[in-house]
Structure 1
Amino acid sequence: MTGIETTGVAARPAPGYGEGRRALLAAAVHVVATRGLRHLTYRSVANEAGVAHGLVAHHFGSRDALLKAALEFSLANSVGSISADPGSGDLEALFAGVVEMVQANPDDQAFQYELILEARRRPELRPHVEEVYATYRQALRGELEAAGIDADDGLVHLVFAAVDGLVFQQVCLDDSAGARAGVERLRTLLRPLAR
């Protein structure tokens, strides 16, 4: 056995022992990020991961379970970029790694944006979208409060919307310089609000 599964267009190395679930989640995120949520199937994920499609069903049981697990995976990969020094209250650390995180792996954000847009057409996806926003806002609120900023709902919403817009533009336009400048300007606006 060569460790290569040839069910897809191009043969890919099969994941190593113990890496299967993670490889499937990364494959699911990539499929949605590059081809859209409507292409999220056991077969497309299996082809991307280089495994038999039965393995996807074995790990997740349903497409909805796969989607939820892929969302949790993508959030775990990206929420930490809110601060380079979590809980420190250091505004210089706030969003310090966002641009680099998007450059290194734009699929996580593209996956989340695809899910958000699809929820407009499929209201049953709305709880997933609410989870995305709630997760980011909760992390942001903690960082703002650690900096001594009165992080009321309106401010948290505004700051997150600004960063979310910068990330969206970076993902869509590959505008890292614009995102960096926007993040720095946002920090400048927040500094007077800190203790």
Structure 2
Amino acid sequence: MTDPAERRPRKRVTYGAGREALLDAAVRVVARGGLRRLTYRAVAEEAGVTHGLVVHHFGSRDALIEEALTHAIRTSLSSSALEPGTGDTADFAAGLTDMVATGPDHQAFQYELLLESRRRPELLPHLRALYDEYFDAARRELTQMLPGPVDEGLSRMVFATLEGLVLHQLVFGERDVIESALDELRATLRLLARERAGD
């Protein structure tokens, strides 16, 4: 039995901020214990609020999962510098290692849901739609960096490289190794840009 002195104090949470705090709590619960650990009670305990507040905000566990996934991917997109929009290869994915270092739970959450989708195919459409945002962001940025058309194969290959580096840093750390790999990726993209430009 939990000692009452060890329980987290309940916080008053406003509607807007509360919803985001609950989504962050859901991400942390799944990142640490997998999707099977995601319950209203676990999220409420993690956020320091009542069980009823989680129910009020989301209504169903599936809605909570879907919104937490959307929240995690949007947070990752905004912090990854995947699409700085400069067209300069030196800027490509410049914030990737910072994103993993400052938000490892968001990354772990996404990988947990990707693996869970093999057992729960109903998650796949949500993951597909949200990952399409990643793919599109990578393709738009590559289109600014490289002369000529950027096909789906190239943009997926580059994104898969980035995703693999994120997973590597998440599991093994080795930030310096990841930074070095990103430098190699940028150098490869510079060479490809020169080749396409006919230099």
TM-score by length of 1: 0.90
In our comparison, the structure showing a higher alpha carbon Rg is 2
Q: State the match for 2:11 in structure 1.
A: 14
TM-score by length of 2: 0.88
Structure 1 Cα separation of the partners of residues 4 and 160 of structure 2: 41
| Residues 1:41 and 2:43 are matched in the alignment | no
Query: Counterpart of 2:166 in structure 1: which amino acid?
Result: V
Pick from 100, 103, 118 the counterpart of residue 102 of structure 1: 100
How is 1:150-189 mapped onto 2 (pairs within 5 angstroms)? 150-189=149-188
SS in 2 for 1:44: helix
Pick from 52, 55, 73 the counterpart of residue 53 of structure 2: 55
Higher helix share: 2
Structure 1 gap segments, 5+ residues each: 1-5
Query: Counterpart of 1:185 in structure 2: which amino acid?
Result: E
Q: 1:187 to 1:7 in 2, by over 3 A?
A: farther
Structure 2 Cα separation of the partners of residues 8 and 59 of structure 1: 28
Cα deviation, 1:104-154, whole Å, max 9, x if unaligned, reads 110111000000000111111111221242111111111111113432110
Q: 1:117 to 1:84 in 2, by over 3 A?
A: closer
Q: 1:117 to 1:66 in 2, by over 3 A?
A: same
Percent of counterpart pairs with the same letter?
A: 48
Of residues 71-80 and 13-22 in structure 1, the stretch that sits farther from structure 2 once superposed is 13-22
Q: State the match for 1:90 in structure 2.
A: 88
User: What is the total number of aligned residue pairs between the two structures?
Assistant: 190
How is 1:19-30 mapped onto 2 (pairs within 5 angstroms)? 19-30=17-28
Q: State the match for 1:137 in structure 2.
A: 135
RMSD: 2.1
Of residues 143-152 and 184-193 in structure 1, the stretch that sits farther from structure 2 once superposed is 143-152
Cα deviation, 1:24-83, whole Å, max 9, x if unaligned, reads 000000001111011111110000000001111111111111111111111111113443
Query: Counterpart of 2:189 in structure 1: which amino acid?
Result: L
Shift of 1:9: 6.0
Contact 1:112 1:132 (8 Å CA) reproduced: no
Q: 1:105 to 1:8 in 2, by over 3 A?
A: farther
